[in-house]
Chain A
């Protein structure tokens, strides 16, 4: 397997973007790593915290703190590969979670994304690791099986409008679960604009006639 130079450069850029976002907002000195490996028919990369060549499955969550003792941790794992035209880096799957300890086993909730998810559930969804008597009652499904709240797939906007790391950071700050650094809003906004621009470009590639129609309307 010969990794493409673009994959190395682009995945490094993305890992650094995520690290910078966190270090400019709610974290201190953390660094995400990108591990490139062979895949089924193309190279792929996994981005995460404290991952290594032989441990790719998010061993530890990121302490959310800019100096004091953390009380909440953020888990992050993302797998990407080049698209079928080998032009763009494409996210295949990601998980963002909040945990009450560095161990992802103590997850409180997780946002999952799986492109072209084959099971009928939404590609982007939220799972909340909690329960209540009411949810247990409701979790008794039409087919007689039981599904607890933490295994329900709450839809969150679909492929183009799925929640991002910027959204998670903003949530933690605005709900006062994390102490922010000065200038956090600018960092969040910059990252958000980058994501939205990429999504818009992808949407236009898929449906150029819509973009042409809109531009024609605007020119009229």
Chain B
């Protein structure tokens, strides 16, 4: 997968394991489950700035099967 990219510290490519860790960490810092985060997004009322930042970073991955995505 990385063969398409020139080595460059400003761009990195994450694999499925990285992404799972990113999702778990973001939810832990947001203090909620993915379902709860999605609820907060639907109501437009995030409980914290960490939840808002988590939604930017991972919100579109809600309900995505990462195994098939990769």
Task: State in angstroms the CA–CA spacing of A123 and B25 once bound together.
Answer: 26
Decide: A92 and B60 in contact? CB cutoff 8 A. Answer: yes
Decide: A104 and B49 in contact? CB cutoff 8 A. Answer: yes
Interface residue total, chain A, C-beta cutoff 8 A? 55
Cβ of A11 within 8 Å of any chain B Cβ, yes or no, is yes
Decide: A54 and B59 in contact? CB cutoff 8 A. Answer: no
Task: State in angstroms the CA–CA spacing of A29 and B41 once bound together.
Answer: 34
Q: State which of A36, A53, A104, A112 has its C-beta within 8 Å of the C-beta of B50.
A: A104
Main SS of the interface on chain B? Answer: helix
Decide: B1 and A57 in contact? CB cutoff 8 A. Answer: no
Interface residue total, chain B, C-beta cutoff 8 A? 44
| Interfacial chain B residues near A58, Cβ < 8 Å | 53, 56-57
Decide: A93 and B5 in contact? CB cutoff 8 A. Answer: no
Taking the closest CB of chain A, its distance from the CB of B47, in whole angstroms, is 9
- A sample of 23 cross-chain residue pairs with beta-carbon separation below 8 angstroms, ordered by A number, consists of A1-B1, A5-B5, A8-B4, A12-B8, A34-B12, A35-B12, A37-B14, A37-B19, A38-B16, A39-B69, A40-B60, A54-B18, A54-B21, A55-B22, A56-B57, A77-B57, A78-B56, A79-B56, A79-B57, A95-B53, A119-B42, A129-B49, A153-B44
Binding site for B on A (CB under 8 A): 1-3, 5, 8, 11-12, 15-16, 19, 31-40, 44, 46, 48, 51-58, 75, 77-79, 81, 92-95, 97, 104-105, 107, 110, 112, 117-121, 129, 147, 151, 153
